[in-house]
Structures are given as structure tokens and as C-alpha cells.
Structure 1
Amino acid sequence: MSSSLLHPPSHLPPAVALKHSQQAPIILKKSPGAVSTSIFQSLISAPETPELWTTYENLLLSCLRTGDDESAHQCLGRLVNRFGNDNERIMALKGLLKEADADDTATSNVILKEYEQILQDNPTNIPILKRRVALLRSIGRISEAVSALISFLDISPTDAEAWAELADLYFSQGLYSQAIFALEEVLVLQPNAWNVHARLGEVLFVAAKSSDNPGQWAEALKRFGRSIELCDDYLRGYYGLKLTTKELLSDPSKLTPSRATSDGFALPDVVTLGKLDELATEKLAEIVRRNSAGEKGWQGYDKAEVKAAKELLEGDTAAITR
């Protein structure tokens, strides 16, 4: 059985999730449909392991991503048989399948009411609170989703996933300061998350372009630098570093002494920025080249991100040629 089935499929490339979904009928046929609670029966039946139930749950999620509703329902049935309908996680998975089956807003509103009824009985049902936020967002009720997330974080202030979701919602509404604050909260909880450092850099970059705030330019540069310090081959970190240095080098007015940041972290001089730009260019070129060549260990990148990096590099080459 693939070890990647023990990881949340939301973090798997689409091709891997599709592969899991295609293997679902075989996996379900070979795996036990239920595990007996009888001590005697457990001696002669397949052993129960945490990995088995993790596999069923992640297989369910992969099947939903690829539209295999039948296998997803089979996985859910086995989980219900083991943990019961009253288990909070099972409630959320049942709701997720209902959401996937919903084909109009009216049906989604019915599911939303079901979530609210569950929360009336148990206001701290974390999985259902999260599903309610996700459903509100999916049907376009963004302000309610934000309010629900803020209320959720009052209950669970150390939930990094919720802070990240809140940041994404704020960013989608153009509320950059709030998005930056939420991502900083994520980094308080996960200080070495290089992807979050890069995401914060991206939000700061967009905010700086809209306001030309020198502090945000410097902070974006710092966040991208931290992301690649933590992960030497992180494409998004180098991509963001390249964009930021390119933007700053194209407008020297951003680098005047009066543009130093209020916290004492001044933007680097032109020479240093040029070196950072060169570093980002070389690393992006290496990632694109080795990924395109199919080299082992360089195939985990998102295809769209590799394409964007290639286009960025080609744009640079075209500018130099002109």
C-alpha cells in the first residue's frame, strides 16, 4: 500500500491523488470492511491499525478530488462502522460527502443548517466548525466565513490552519494588513514553515505594490530570504525573491535613504540587490532545467509554478536582448 496514503491528499499532487483514486476499488477489496470488537474474532481476523483508518480517510478525500463518489462512500461506510455516527470527525466527513453531492445553493444551505444544528448541541465541535467555514466560503458568503473563523479562533487560538485560512480570506478581499497579521500568527505557531514565510512575502509584495510602503518591500524581501534559507530548493521562495529584487532594481527611488523602514531594517543597496537577483535567477534556472529533464529528486514541483518560473526567466532574457 502506498505510504503517501498516510498523508493528507490535499498536500498531494493531483496526479498522485488520481492514482490513489484509481486504485481505490482494489484497495477496498483487499482491505477489511470492518474490524470486530470481539477479542476472539480479533485473534483470527485482520489486525486493526491506525494506518488502516488513516488510509480509508485519505482514500476518501482523494476519491472526492477525482469524482469517484462510490469509492468515497464505501470508505465512509467503513469508518462509520468502526467509529459510529456520533464521532466528531465522522460527522465532518459525512458532511463533506453531502457537500460534494450538493448541486445547488439550496442544498448547500440545507447542509449548513444541519451543521448549525449540530453546533447548537455541541458548540465546540471543531471538525464541524471548520466544515461550516469551508461551506460558507464555497457558497460565496465570505463575510460570514470570516466571522465564523474569528469566532473559531477565540475557541482554538493555536490552530495554524485556521489562521492561514483567515489570511487567505482577507487577502481575497484586498484586506492586506489583516492578511499579514493572520500569517504572522501562523508563523508564531510554526516559525520554520518556509511555505508560510514565502506566502507572507507574496502578500507583502502585493500590498507594497498597491501602497509603495518601503517597510513592506523590505519585509517581503526578508520573508522570501527566510523561506529559501529554510528550504534551499523552494521554488516559490526564489520566485518571490526574483520578483521583489526585479521590482526594486527597476525603480531606484524605492532605495533612497528616506525609504528605510521604521524598524531599522533598511532595504539593501543596489549591489546587494543585484547579487540576490542573480542568486534567484540561477536557482530558478536550475530548478526549471532539472525538472524539465526529468531528473530524480526534482519532480515534486507544481507544473504551473515551474511554467511561471520559466516564463519569468524568459522575460528577463528578452529584456536583456532588447
Structure 2
Amino acid sequence: MFEEIRDRLLLVFRSGKYAQLPPADLENLYGVSSVFLRLNESRLGQLEYYTLLELHFFLCLLTLRDNEAKSALDRFGDKFEARSSEKLTVLRSYYIQVLGKKDALEYLDKASAPLIKSPVDLTSKPVSRDPKSLRLVEKRKVALKSSSPTEYIENLLQYVDDSPLDYETWMELAEQYVDLGEYEKAYECVQEVLVGAPGAYVVWCRAGEICRKIYDKDARSKDVLKQAQRSFLRAIELCELHARSWCGLLVTARDLKQTEIENLARTRLNQLVKDSATNQSDLDRISEFLSLIN
């Protein structure tokens, strides 16, 4: 049970799914995180512990538990020195943002100064670094400086121009284009990620979903629907238990009138539900999806 909960929490953090959960699921996840950290701190490796503590910090902010978020932040401060820790500087900016967006930006500007000239390690002398090398700080500034979706996209484009291998930012840029209905541009951003991370099944799934959005916008092109199917199949090849890819494959096969593939996807989704092969929230969504499809 320990390993199962630990791995599930780590997966939730790395996928970023916690930021998109509905209030009830977010509250449940906070409860699991709180109890797990309290009971298992001594059993966790240092990297695991501080990764899960970071998740818990964000869960506290998202559930409006500011005092508990500050407590988690203080635990980071007990381990790391803010003058030399870019990670801690960025985490503090999130907490300050609760108080005011402008205050968080001012804090980052001041806090990044000692980071620009600091020892690479404990045995080396301070060295000057390019401010743009503080990638975590720069990414936070991009979000804080942006007052509109258009400005945010412009700032993200400038950032990826300096950091073309930052795949997380490419995905953020893709989602911003999706929100604006510019699906072709979103697909190009996702492709940038897949060039460097061809094994990212979640990204392959998202590529398929964006292709479907392109098709829904203009149903005249079957080629883009076939590309969506190829993307979902690649995601499933990389992770057979990824329910979202099976859902995408099912509706795409249905639109392409490929009965055999559609039935295969439906059978696999029913099996995932029967075997409880994913978390309860996903199981509920699969059941709802199948009832709507049927």
C-alpha cells in the first residue's frame, strides 16, 4: 500500500493533473497527501520526500490552506538556503502571489540577484551567470508579467526561443493556442515536444486530441482524423493502460467507421473498469464516457 500511494502521488505531481482537478477530487488528494507525508516521512528517500512536499505545498495553496502552505515552505527553508536555491525562490513566489501578483514579481526580481552570482557548489568560488540561465525564475516571470492570453503567448514564444528544449513550456504554449482555437499552432508545439521526447505517451495522446479538434473545426479532411488515430495508437503502444488514449481511439475509429478497432477500444475500456486498473476518478470518467458513447 505504501508503494502504491507513493507512486500514485508522484505520478500526479509529475503529470500536473492536480492543477486541473475538480474541488472534490482536489480535497480528497490533499487529504491523502497530508496523511501520507505525516505517517511516512522516515520511509521516504530525500528526493521522494521533497517532491511530495512540493506537491503538498501546491495542494495547500489550491485548497486555500495558506498557513499550512507556509509551514510546508518553511520545511523547504530548513533544508535549502534561499540565496542559493532557485527552486525555493520560485516556490516562495507562489506563496507571495497569494498576497499579490505584483509583490511576487518584485520578490523574484530581488531574489534572483544573489542567484546570478553564487557558488556552483560548496567548494567553488562565486561565478557570474547569465540571468536567463535561471530558467525556473524566468518561467515564473513569464506568467506573472502576462496580463492577457495574447501577451502570455508572446512571452512564452520569447522564452522557448531562448530555451527550445524546455518541453513543459512548449506544452503550455500548445494549451494556450488550444484555448484560442488555434489548433494547428497547438499541434506544431506538441510536435516540438515529441521530437525530443518520443516516449511521452501523454503527449502523443494530446496530439491525437488536438488533431480531433482540427477535424471538428473542419470535418472535410479525413487525413487529420487518421493522424489522430495514429497518435492514439502510439500512446497506447507506449502505455496500454492509458484510458484517455483508448477513449480517443474509440471515438476516432467510430468516425472513421472502423468497427473492429472501435469494438476493441470499447472492450479494453470496459476491462479497465472491471479490473479497476486506474484511480477512482478516472474510472468514473470512463464509465460516464462509455454511457454517452453507447
TM-score, normalization by structure 2: 0.76
Structure 1 residue 246 displacement after superposition = 1.8
Q: Which amino acid aligns with 2:279?
A: G
2:190–2:203 contact (8 Å) kept in structure 1: yes
User: What is the percentage of aligned positions where both structures have the same residue?
Assistant: 25
What residue in structure 1 maps to residue 273 of structure 2?
288
Q: Which amino acid aligns with 1:200?
A: A
Q: Which amino acid aligns with 2:6?
A: S
Instruction: Tell me whether 1:20 sits opposite 2:33 in the alignment.
Output: yes
What residue in structure 2 maps to residue 220 of structure 1?
228
What residue in structure 2 maps to residue 143 of structure 1?
150
Pick 1 or 2: higher relative contact order, CA cutoff 8 A, min separation 6: 1
Instruction: Tell me whether 1:248 sits opposite 2:274 in the alignment.
Output: no
Partner Cα distance (2:290, 2:69) in 1 = 42
Cα deviation digits, residues 218-253 of structure 1 (max 9, x gap): 10111111111211121111111111122233xxxx
What residue in structure 2 maps to residue 185 of structure 1?
192
Partner Cα distance (1:315, 1:27) in 2 = 41
Structure 1 residue 161 displacement after superposition = 0.8
Partner Cα distance (1:52, 1:235) in 2 = 29
1:27 to 1:96, Cα distance in 2 relative to 1, 3 A: farther
Deviates more, 1:173-182 or 1:82-91: 82-91
Instruction: Tell me whether 1:314 sits opposite 2:284 in the alignment.
Output: no
RMSD: 3.0
Q: Which amino acid aligns with 1:281?
A: R
Structure 1 residue 65 displacement after superposition = 3.3
Instruction: Tell me whether 1:130 sits opposite 2:139 in the alignment.
Output: yes
What residue in structure 1 maps to residue 260 of structure 2?
275
1:257-272 map, 5 Å: none
Instruction: Tell me whether 1:208 sits opposite 2:215 in the alignment.
Output: yes
1:193 to 1:144, Cα distance in 2 relative to 1, 3 A: same
Gaps spanning 5+ residues in structure 1: where?
A: 32-47, 250-272, 292-297, 318-322
Partner Cα distance (2:81, 2:267) in 1 = 54
Partner Cα distance (2:90, 2:284) in 1 = 36
What residue in structure 2 maps to residue 3 of structure 1?
6
Aligned residue pairs total 261
Cα deviation digits, residues 130-156 of structure 1 (max 9, x gap): 22334456xx62122212211221222
SS at match of 1:123: helix
1:50 to 1:214, Cα distance in 2 relative to 1, 3 A: closer
SS at match of 2:133: coil
2:272–2:278 contact (8 Å) kept in structure 1: no
TM-score, normalization by structure 1: 0.70
